[in-house]
Amino acid sequence: MTAYVYMVRCANGALYTGWTNDLVHRLAMHRRGSGAKYTRAFKAVDLAYFEELPDKRTALQREYALKQLAKKQKEELVRQFPRKSLKIP
């Protein structure tokens, strides 16, 4: 089953990293304030980055790797991400 790892930009400028098997639904949850505790406290404003992966295990491994990156490295990934590929409402 396809899974996704993603980063959302929060109102405080931070990047929140997570994984899901339904990206559209998960983003809607973050925006409603019913997602992760962090995005409830610091509203998720924008989808900044995502990757489609083959399964949950791979997504969890990639999520862990992304969370280990320094903020500067995460910002570079976001900067290089092709915004035109974002087809998420």
- What local confidence, expressed as pLDDT, does residue 36 receive? 87
**Tens of pLDDT, residues 26-79:** 999 998 888 889 998 999 888 999 999 999 999 999 999 999 999 999 999 999
Spatial separation of the C-alpha atoms in residues 11 and 21, rounded to whole Å: 24
pLDDT (0 to 100) of residue 7:
96
Whole-structure pTM value:
0.89
Q: Which CATH architecture has domain 3-85?
A: 3-Layer(aba) Sandwich (3.40)
Question: What pLDDT is recorded for position 89?
Answer: 43
pLDDT of residue 87: 52
Question: How confident is residue 84, by pLDDT bands cut at 50, 70 and 90?
Answer: low
Supply the pLDDT for residue 66.
98
Is 16:49 a contact under the CB 8 Å cutoff? no
